[in-house]
Structures are given as C-alpha cells and as structure tokens.
Structure 1
C-alpha cells in the first residue's frame, strides 16, 4: 500500500494535477507505448492493440479551497473547489502548494455551528498581518486537506482516497496487462470534482468503443447509515447507475462475467447520488458504451475516506483481466 499512500498524500486540487501526474508517469514508465498529458491536464497512457478501443479512467484531482481575500490581520478568506463541505472542513488543517499550513476556523460571532455560512470561514496560517501572510499565500492560491494515510486493520484511511484508489488500480493494471489485443487507453483525469471536465475532453479525443471508470461508491454499512447493500470487504461494486449515468448493459455484463470467471467477489451498486467520469464519457460524440468498477468507500468527500484493501486489490485483478470482444 506504499504506492496508494504516496498517491493519497500528494497535492492535486482540481486544476493543478501536474504533481500527481508526474508521480504516476514515473511509476508507469516503460509499461506503456506512449504516455502524454493533454490540454486539460489529463495524463494518458496508451498500450497499443489492433481490435476494440477501450478506455479506462480514474480521476486524480481532489477537493480543496482557493484564497479569495487576505485581511489586515493576515486571515485568509476562501472559496471551495469541488465537493468540499463547510462542516467537514471546519477545524481541519489545510496545506498550500508551497507547504504553508493553516487551520480552517469560523467567526466567533456565529454561536451555533448549524448557522455557519461559507462566508463565516477563514484560514489561520499564524500570520501577524496582511503583509506577513502575503509572504506565504497570495489570492488565487489553492490548498487541500492535510491528512496522513493510515491503516485501520485491513482498511485504509486518508483524504482523496475516492479518486486515488482508482488511480492505484489503473497503475497496477497497466503493469499487469501484457499482449493485449484491444487498443487500451488509461486516463488519469483532471478536474473531476468541478464537473467531470477532463473525462469529457479525453473521451472526445480518444473516441473509445468502450469505457470503464474505476471509481468509488458509498456504503450502507455504518450505524444507522443510508439504506444500501454495499459494504466494505464484500468485493468490488459493479455499478448499475449513479446520478450521472446508467451503465451500458453489455459492459456491465462483461464486468460481471469477468468477476465470476476469476472468482472475484463483487456487489451490485445502485447509487442515487454521486457522479462518475463516465457520466461525461458516455455522452461523447455519438455515445460510448460505458460502465464502472467501483470501490466501496465510507465517508466520501471528507478528510477520512475509508476503503478495504481487499476490495482495492480485487479491482486491480478485475481490471487487469477484463476483456471486450
């Protein structure tokens, strides 16, 4: 899990994914026929083949904040990037790209936490004045949650796990797949959290016959959690639908067939919320047959997303074995 740790702890808010893309490019060097970055910042690895064009996609960006104003006392006001939530962010540490750390706090005039608005929040970096703060942070700078990767028994816990687990799966699949007949594209997509943007442009350029997202799905296995059959440790989830797409029946059946053939545990996921990169991909040009291999995750879009290591490794095995004819 050292690679997953490295990926999760990397700094890569939406719109600034170059750091983690460099890590991934170094990791897969020599395992693909070509590796390149497109205009949107997607990292794409191509393993050439002669038959169907298949696109695998996982996003590498994460939620964060952008500095919008620095007051006379050096406190930083900010706006949210992606699905960051004011309650999850409160009293959490954040870190800017240059390593400057701070804590998110709220105005003392707000007495009840339920009354907090985005405009009541600020970042305290320990500055004494605006001039002092501007030595470290400028308006427009971005920051991400500051949260270390930890193991909880056979589970792992970190920020950004909902995207980086999929990237971990694709990296290992690139290494495992040899002598592929199909023309394979592995897309590590940018700007997922702000509207599946990298997925849209990469699909338009690649024009795949099939697409499979390696993403995550929320579980229902915590006390008084939402009604859902999805649980950590019960295998990968084959997604029927989420808020952004309905899986193509042919692709879904191929994923199930592969899981059963290789004796990989799987669950069927019907997600009412959440979006996947294939939500954009399946609408590209005249349409793309699309599905998703989803890793069950607790506490999505918080600093403490949690997944089962067995489920993650099962996703590696499945994607490495999946074939389309």
Structure 2
C-alpha cells in the first residue's frame, strides 16, 4: 500500500506513498501512557513515575505489564480521605516478597503499560490505549483505501507524543511537509455532568479549532471542513481546553508548517477503558482519504 518505509532516530515509523509534488504529512502517535519504575523497596513493591498524563484514581485495582511479561497490580497505602490519593501513595505489586526477587523480574527505569482487554459493545468499542491506537488504525486503513493521492503522502506513526510531542517534531523537521495533519482522539461532553464540550460520540470525527498545544491554521481548518461537506462526511468542530496533539510540534517546526487536526471522539481518555464509536472511526477514514485526494491551496 506504500512505496517506502523508514524508521528515524526517535523510532518514528514513516510510510511514504507517492502521488504528487507537494508533501502531506499525516501523524498518528503510537505511544501510550504508562509508568516507569523509580524505586523497589525491601519487600519488592515498586514505586513509579507516570509516563504521560495519568490520574491516580484511574489506577487502583488495575494491572500493568512489562515488556518481559511481568504483570503488576496497582495498590495504595491506607488513606484517611480518598481525596488525599496521589501517585506517591500508589505502589505496584508484582507478587514477590523481597527486593531481590523483584530485581529478577524488573529493573529501575523499566516501563509498563496498562493491562486491559478490548471489548466490542456494538457501535461502541472499549479498550485501553484507544489513545491513540484507533488513530493509527484510521491512518492505516486510509492508506489502503486511497486511490488517487494528489500529494506525496508521509504517514508518520510517531513516538513520544504523550511526553512532549517529541517524535512529531523530529519527523516534521526531516520531512518539511507543505501541510501537516495530526490524527488523534479528543474528549467528549456527552456523559453525565461532564465538562461542557460540544463533542459527542456517534456524530462524526472532529475538525479541531484549538487545544493547549496548537491554534490550528485557519486555512487548513477551512479546507478540512470544505472537504467533509463536499463528500457528505459528518463532522464536529472541536475546541479542546486542555491537552495537546502532534500538530503543536508540526506547526512550530522550522519556519512554520500549516497544520490541522482530525480527532476521533473518545470517552474516558487516559484511563484503562477508553471508548470510541465505530461510526466515527469509519467516517474518520473517509475524511482522511478525501484529504489525501484533495489539493490544499492554502
């Protein structure tokens, strides 16, 4: 489905599909939130630092797994008030009784991801790491479906987005695209007493206006809206008050790159059970395909 595949120094996977003269960079980050071991006590319990934005309330009773297969359970110290819960009060139990036993399984600096299975609820899909595996799936499927790309497509599966948009910055510097679009998830405002936000599951992917990392280039946003309307693709406008995307790094690389974002609405972001709507995913694929096939005039 592509003409060339590269891996750069930061581990970004770059799939290139030749089409036209201009360069379109599409970035979906493939890293996920997790934890890193910082201390092992005499009884073999692990202390950790979060990798990416984790809430302590989402961890208790959940499990994590290390690259070598070691599984741990998140436990917490006794608290007088649950409101006092913090990362410093949480430990990981890997089923051993001593530091020596623990060191046979893990080392300081080892990282672990949340362990939770995928569930199909019909139109709704639930899993850990929907942020951002679902967007990686969207980009892969779009590469399969696109017939007549008007650009040289640089599909970049980026690293280290959750810890500072680092992979996207390096990849953009190397590619120097004419336009860049990040594909990610976004929060919703459609659950009981949720934060006020005009994004819902099942109403289509979003075209982002802003988040904490980027004010999307107005011309790119208008282009994305026009392409969606011209092809009958439902979409929502997104104004995200907190959180960032690879577009923030893309836009600020070199002398500046026109940048936009398409997001898949997602409930319970940065927890072990993130939920998306399959119909939004399908329409997201359609929009990315049409963006590949429609020239951006700027």
Q: Tell me if TM exceeds 0.5.
A: yes
Give me the whole-angstrom Cα distance separating, in 2, the residues matched to 1:233 and 1:117.
Answer: 34
Kindly indicate whether the alpha-carbon contact (under 8 Å) linking 2:213 and 2:248 is maintained by their aligned counterparts in 1.
yes
- Provide the aligned length of Structure 1 versus Structure 2: 294
SS in 1 for 2:183: strand
What TM-score do the two structures reach when normalised by structure 1? 0.88
Which residue pairs with 2:286 in the alignment?
Answer: 317
Task: State the match for 2:19 in structure 1.
Answer: 49
Q: What pairs with 1:47-126 in structure 2 (closer than 5 Å)? A: 47-108=17-78, 110-126=79-95
Aligned residue number for residue 208 of structure 2? 239
How far 1:36 sits from its partner (Å)?
Answer: 1.1
Paired residue secondary structure (2:57): helix
Shift of 1:247: 1.2
Q: Which residue of 2 aligns with 1:215?
A: 184
Q: Match for residue 129 of structure 1?
A: 98
Q: Is the 8 A contact 2:64 2:71 kept in 1?
A: yes
Q: Is 1:201 aligned to residue 165 of structure 2?
A: no
Mapping of 1:134-283 within 5 angstroms? 134-283=103-252
Partner SS, residue 213 of structure 1: strand
Superposition deviation, residue 182 in structure 1: 1.0
Any idea what the Cα deviations from partners look like across 1:73-105, whole Å, max 9, x if unmatched? 111111111112211112211111111111111
Q: TM-score, normalised by structure 2?
A: 0.96
Tell me the residue number matched to 2:3.
33
* Structure 1 residue matching 2:284: 3-state secondary structure: helix
CA distance in 2, matches of 1:220, 1:288: 30
Per the TM alignment, residue 215 of structure 1 is displaced from its structure 2 partner at its CA by 1.0
- CA–CA separation in structure 2 for the residues paired with 1:213 and 1:35: 19
The question of whether the paired residues in 1 share the 8 Å contact of 2:206 and 2:265 is answered with yes
1:75–1:130 contact (8 Å) kept in structure 2: yes
The superposition leaves residues 36-89 of structure 1 with CA deviations (integer Å, 9 ceiling, x where unpaired) of: 110011000011233211100010001111111111111111111111221111
Take 1:217 and 1:125, find their aligned partners in 2: how far apart are those partners?
33
Contact 1:77 1:122 in 2 (8 A): yes
Contact 2:28 2:139 in 1 (8 A): yes
**Equivalent residue for 1:15?**
none
1:216 and 1:295 in contact (8 A); partners too:
yes
How big is the alpha-carbon RMSD for the aligned residues of Structure 1 and Structure 2?
1.1
Following superposition, the deviation at residue 181 of structure 1 comes to: 2.7
